[in-house]
Chain A
């Protein structure tokens, strides 16, 4: 079982806003930043959000991240069909001395 907890699935219609949650503990999200990855079918993960809420160059501003306490969230506004993918959260864990990931959320665009 994954150290960080995400809902296994989420869905929305084009143009809608969806939010994916990520829950952890004091040893990971509570004391370190969250990063989010997007994995399109059959491809490697791609960094989508880093340092809780920063977008790498080239990532549309439809994607945003937030963190509060031991939880975080990824928001996608103006949902598009190409956003259909798996999304993973990640954080450093001080107790495990390594990075930990969420189990992933499969986003379906209806």
Chain B
């Protein structure tokens, strides 16, 4: 079930800059999670934000959630070349249906 989308599809920045990617959805959620995938590997969990939370931090990551706009953003501050990867959002809706979104955002951090 894919009922949302990430944007942009691709993002290229210089090392040290901030990267922002967005996730929009159409249903009511229990929580929203962001994952990272390096080329050819499985996804790795980054951060989870619950529906009653508005912002969460983990190291250089900041996630916001606006349930009224049904959107979330992932901010990576002071990016590094090692942050180059694809980023996906995943959410569990209130009916316990699991939803994940297509191609993700492909981030390229130039050294």
A and B associate in one complex = no
List the interface of chain A (C-beta within 8 A of B): none
